[in-house]
Structure 1
Amino acid sequence: MSDDNKNLGNDLNDMLDDAKDNAKKAGETISKKVNEITDEAKESAKEFSDDAKETFSNAPGDNKKMLAGILAILLGAFGVHKFILGYNKEGGILLGITLLGIVLSCVGVGIIVVWLTGLVGLIEGIIYLTKSDEDFYNTYQVGKKSWF
């Protein structure tokens, strides 16, 4: 009976060794597949990134047109759209006039001042949004036209 146990033990050890070898081979195969998939994903991501850079580098204005136009309509009195476009002096002027109008609103004249600066922002926002991307870029970012 002890010879049978030894043979059974040897058979079990052989099966265990075979299972280890098969698991090792499967692990190597899986590792190779994972590396292949990872390399393909990296290549696809690089191609997508390059395509996106090419697409958006051709878009003049770096998408500032839409942002500046919407902010001009919503917060034009505070000159936020001017700061977005890099016109810090003009943005400061609008902001200062609006704040002065808010302070003077207790007198009554300030309400008109705030209303007028808001109207300036509304008009500029409409102008920004109705221009083509190329025209906006050439006018406000290359030509540096700061008002209307």
Structure 2
Amino acid sequence: MDQNTIEEGKPLGIVAYITIIGVLIAFFMNQEKRNPFISFHVRQGLGLWILFMIMGYVVSYFNNWNITYSWWIFFSVLFIYGIIGAISGKMNKIPILGSVFQNLFKSIGQ
């Protein structure tokens, strides 16, 4: 992938991690002119947001501040890791889960 493609995709790559609405915005704006950099970050962001919601539902039943804080810190670190990767123009997979997200959502952006 050339540097021009990455530079064009950086703004939407970043948007893909900012709320679930950001994922949808990046996805639909990438439909006309497919950019693999944006598609990569849309898959990562979508996977993180879906996992965030599912895990949030599970964590809410524990009603324990220690578990809740751990959950927030865990996902904050993952989202920040993804945003930093998009800003720096790299296609770093999210630790542990990135490969799963890429395989699960491989039809997005192709």
Name the TM-score class by shorter chain.
Answer: 0.3 to 0.5
User: Which has the bigger relative contact order, CA under 8 A and spacing at least 6?
Assistant: 2
Q: Choose 1 or 2 for highest CA Rg.
A: 1
Query: More helix by proportion, 1 or 2?
Result: 1
